[in-house]
Structures are given as structure tokens and as C-alpha cells.
Amino acid sequence: KKVLLIHGPNLNLTGQREPGIYGSDTLAAINAEVVAKCERLGMSCAVFQSNVEGALIDRIHAAREDCAAIIINAGAYTHYSYALRDAIASVRLPCVEVHMSNVHAREEFRHKSVIGPVCAGVIAGFGKHSYLLAVDAVKAIIG
Ligand code: DQA
């Protein structure tokens, strides 16, 4: 079974961007760990990052073809993109929402997720481990 790992805006700069909040591991290094963990658990993993809302939506739609679940860090789109929310609801694949930082301990605007209600669950606050824990979550859902 294939898992789609999606990263939204600014996450391409992970490792350089606000390292006090997001850590110093690059996105490529995190992706490699996630792919390896998926494979250890008998799943494959495709990775996609975009800073463009429509490109994220197109990738979610394409996941209908061959993916069994989605892990998504939608970045700031989490907090206001109804279009992304509707895309997730439209494909009816189980989706795990991820944040590296503890969004609830940060600014008020980060406390709300508009994608949360259409996701199976949320993991936030554990840095790169949020993604690795999401792989366990997906495994528990899709087996
Ligand atoms: C983030 C939290 C968001 O509020 C922020 O806009 C991000 C990253 C996280 O991983 O902690 O870009 O999703």
C-alpha cells in the first residue's frame, strides 16, 4: 500500500527556516526517514512538496489513483484553506494531519485547523517525530 506524504508552503525551507521552532533537519533528511519507516512497515511512500495551493489540491486528487492514505503538513494553509479541506474530503482517503511545532502553544491563528475535521487525526509538537508517528497512525488505519 502506498502512502502519500504532502508538505505545504515554506516546508521546503525546513532546516533553515526558524530552526528554533522547526529543528535543523532538512526536509530531504526527514523525507528519507519517513520513506524508510514506511518501507520497514511494508508500505511504500511518495513525497510531494509545493508552495502552491492548487498544486497541493491537484496532487491530493491524483492520490485517488494509487494511494491508500495521506500524511499532510499543510503549513499555514492548515489554518484557512477551505479548498484544501474540500480536496481531502473529496478523495475519501484517510488523512493524518501533521505539524512539527505544537501549534496550540503558538499564536492564536495557529490554534484552528480547517482541515482537522476531515482528517482521521492530528499529530503536532514532536518535530520530525510528528511525521514518524504519523506513519504508525497510517499503519494502524490501513494495516
Ligand atoms: C506547521 C505549523 C503552521 O502553523 C506553520 O504555518 C507551518 C508549519 C508545523 O509543522 O508546525 O508552516 O505546520
**CA 11 to ligand 1: nearest atom:** 12
CA–CA–CA angle 111, 116, 117 (5° rounding): 125
Residue 80 among the catalytic residues: no
Start-to-end CA distance of the chain, whole Å, equals: 9
Strand partners, 49: 7
Tens digits of residue pLDDT in 24-71: 999 999 999 999 999 999 999 999 999 999 999 999 999 999 999 999
Interface predicted TM-score (ipTM) over 0.85: yes
**CA 21 to ligand 1: nearest atom:** 11
2-142 is classed CATH 3.40.50.9100: yes
Q: Name the residue with the closest Cα to ligand 1, atom 7.
A: 75
Spell out the domain ranges in the chain.
2-142
pTM: 0.98
CA distance 124 to 78: 12
